[in-house]
Amino acid sequence: MSVKIGRDTVGKVGLGLMGLTWRANDTPDEQAFETIKSAVDAGCTLLNGGTFYNRPDQPLSNLKLIRRFYEKYPEYVDKTILSVKGCLTPSFAPTGTRDGVRKSAIEAAEVLKGVKKIDIFESARVDTNVPIEETIGYLAELVKEGVFNYIGLSEVNGQTVRRAHKVHPITAVEVEYSLFSREPESNGVLSACEELDIALVAYSPVSRGLLTGAITSLSDIPENDMRRNFDRFKEETLEDNLKLVEVVKRQAEKKGITPAQLAIAWVTAQSKHVVAIPGSTSKSRATENAKAAQVEFSEEELKELRTMVESFKVKENHSSIADKIEGAVGG
């Protein structure tokens, strides 16, 4: 099954590229390229990058890696849909002005050097100083100029999606969505995407690695890992949150799949408009995640999972750092 993205379609599972460059040490090109290739070959045709997915001393390194990938493997240009988030300053302040939008989008396109045209350019955050209608108008100008093909949004609610869509068709809305984080169901985003025929791009479908089952204590997370900034991984909350992980592990074992595959498949099963973009830095994990697209649930299984997760109270406050970044390390 595929998900409609504008005039194109992509697999139900894509690949988030943030973790390849926004880390203490960049993933070596050979390893990164093998990860991307294996994911795409397995049907993960939506690739998700960002202008700010980098360390401060390595500006635009994520897009530079993407360019090098397409330069080395040009046969993957037409196989993939590339989504790029931008419109953030180096201090993570949203910039929705005409100058800010143009600078971000044109700079991103120039880094790619014409090797691959950006398919979807997303405003990563809403600039509260600029009406969303104006920001979308500026993005629409760039579509007409041929800088990119489609407009996307990120970290918005359903009302903002509807306002933006009235100005210019919105192709994709990227938000966190997982068994652990189900806000798109309550803030109107999922319903707006379904009504307006917009793809909902779900980042962190395995909750930044928590739902893989690989994390059993705080010591499993490296000291310099950004996930330590999130409440769900704090020592005082992790023990409670791991109870949901145990539920996922039991259900996955019953189906003969991995916890990560169950978590990803649950997200994509919620609507035909949803595509999940787990992150990965290894070929093996990318291949494992891709197989989630083949997982099917019965109505009874979905009902059982829904009952289980809704009876579980997530321990986390939406921290300030979560407002700044997607945190897609590990999906």
Task: Report the SS3 class of residue 326.
Answer: coil
Residues near 146 by Cβ (< 8 Å), separated by ≥ 6? none
Bridge partner list, 86: 123
Taking the C-alpha atoms of residue 1 and residue 3, their distance in angstroms, rounded to an integer, is 7
The count of other CB atoms within 10 Å of the CB of residue 1 is 10
Which pair of structure tokens corresponds to residue 135? 């920001």
Q: Give the chain's largest Cα–Cα span.
A: 54
Taking the C-alpha atoms of residue 116 and residue 178, their distance in angstroms, rounded to an integer, is 30
* Distance from the first to the final alpha carbon of the chain: 21
Taking the C-alpha atoms of residue 140 and residue 142, their distance in angstroms, rounded to an integer, is 5
297 close to 223: Cβ distance less than 8 angstroms: no
Which pair of structure tokens corresponds to residue 32? 């990164």
Cβ-in-10-Å burial (0-12, 13-18, 19+) of 306 comes to middle
The count of other CB atoms within 10 Å of the CB of residue 235 is 10
- Is residue 299 within a helix (H) or strand (E), and if so which, with residue range? helix 299-310
Sign of CA dihedral 215, 221, 227, 233: positive
Q: Which of 53, 70, 76, 138 is catalytic?
A: 53
- Is residue 268 within a helix (H) or strand (E), and if so which, with residue range? helix 259-268
330 close to 279: Cβ distance less than 8 angstroms: yes
Taking the C-alpha atoms of residue 32 and residue 19, their distance in angstroms, rounded to an integer, is 10
Active site residue 53: yes
Residues with active-site annotation: 53
